[in-house]
Amino acid sequence: MTYPTRTRWHGVAGGIFDSPGNALVSLLLLGVLWYLASGLWDWAVVRATWEAATAEECARNGGTCWAFLRDRWRLILFGPYPYGEQWRPAFALMLFLGLIIATLRPAFWENGHARRSLMVAWALGLPLMACLMIGGTMGLAPVPMRLWGGLPLTVMLAAVGVSLAFVLAVALALARVCTMPVIRWLATAYIEFFRGVPLIALLFLVAILFPYVVPPGWNMDTLLRAQLAFALFFAAYMSEAIRGGLQSIPQGQYDAAVALGLTWWQSRRRIILPQALRKVIPSLVNIFIAAFKDTSLVVVISMLDLLGAANASTAEAKWWGLYIEPYLFIALIYLVFCLAMSAYSRSLERRLGVGER
């Protein structure tokens, strides 16, 4: 006896038009999507202005002012970094993203030679990126950190902050489930404090109060203080996600590690932590995405990240009144980065079999 085969398209189409009610709702939704898409096309293409010198000229057609983005895209992407030196943050950003992408490839985890090569690449890449951004060496003009901004600043704050936070979060999670009361209480106090303080308040604290609590003559750049605040803040949230993964491991796994003669550190590093981190990948990725978007809060301490640079791009008198174009531009950048993180998370979950027995 043979059964009719159902393709993927048949399954999708059957779910959309398998009844009069579903068909009606589907047609209504398609009509709404068509209406929105046609309106967007008219605004972004048909009535768009590609050549203009002022916002008033763009307003005549009532469409998108692409002329504004053509004029100000470098300010949005690189902030107040000197115009003639913007190739340096662009190259540093591409190098940084390339190292991150290479690090996230599973092939580099499974091969010892590849891991060593990757470590060498990071050891050489980080000083090179610092030289490009800071300058003062190799014939490059020095650029103070207060002039860093735009997309490189956003990516750096998010990536470095999340990396430092992850290392601290693992230690906090282990301390939170530790049997020693003092260590457990200290970890709990840290986590509850930073989870109970808004990130924007923490940024104000490190930017304004920090100089008053350090010895005279000792100072730290605002960028480094903001980076520290990000790491401390998101470590508290990550630690709770990791603690949930640790508590989900059956007691038999702990007993098996003891039976094998493994020490406390060996059992956590080789058996417990790999399983716990595998279980909490979706939660950690949610925190990573939130951290990337929350970098926009540094604008309150006068740092021109991607959002701050977008605000500054409309400050010139000839472009007053334009807000949709810069915000739409940076929204698309945030969307691309967040979709990339989500896609990588799903591929990693499939590879590790998260959710499968």
Q: Is the pLDDT of residue 206 over 80?
A: yes
Q: Is the pLDDT of residue 12 over 80?
A: no
Residue 65: strand pairing partners: 49
Cβ-Cβ contacts under 8 Å for 344 (sequence gap 6 or more): 104
pLDDT tens figures, 103-154: 888 777 777 777 888 889 999 999 999 999 998 888 899 998 888 989 999 9
pLDDT tier, 1 (very low <50, low <70, confident <90, very high otherwise)? very low
Q: Are 310 and 329 in contact (CB under 8 A)?
A: yes
Q: For residue 131, what are the CA distances in angstroms to 98, 125, 126?
A: 17, 10, 9
Q: According to the model, what pLDDT value does residue 44 have?
A: 86
Q: According to the model, what pLDDT value does residue 137 have?
A: 84
CA nearest to 87, candidates 132, 134, 147? 132
Q: Report d(CA 332, CA 67) in Å as an integer.
A: 18
Q: Are 246 and 177 in contact (CB under 8 A)?
A: yes
CA nearest to 51, candidates 38, 35, 70, 33? 70
Q: Report d(CA 77, CA 223) in Å as an integer.
A: 18
Mean pLDDT computed over 68-85: 90
Q: Report d(CA 140, CA 133) in Å as an integer.
A: 9
pTM: 0.84
Q: Which long-range contacts (CB under 8 A, 24 or more apart) does 40-43 make?
A: none
* HEC secondary structure over 286-349: HHHHHHHHHHHHHHHHCCCEHHHHHHHHCCCHHHCCCCHHHHHHHHHHHHHHHHHHHHHHHHHH
pLDDT tier, 336 (very low <50, low <70, confident <90, very high otherwise)? very high
Instruction: Extract the tokens encoding 209.
Output: 């109060």
Alpha-carbon Rg for the chain, nearest whole angstrom, is 25
Q: Report d(CA 168, CA 157) in Å as an integer.
A: 16
pLDDT tens figures, 281-309: 889 999 999 999 999 888 888 888 898 89
* Position with higher pLDDT, 7 vs 65: 65
First-to-last C-alpha distance (Å) of the chain: 33
Q: Which residue is listed with tokens 């003559």?
A: 217
Which sign does the torsion angle of CA 73, 79, 83, 85 carry? Answer: negative
Considering the chain, what percentage of its residues have pLDDT values greater than 70? 94
Q: According to the model, what pLDDT value does residue 210 have?
A: 78
Q: Are 129 and 96 in contact (CB under 8 A)?
A: yes
Residue 150: strand pairing partners: 305
Q: What is the mean pLDDT of the chain?
A: 86
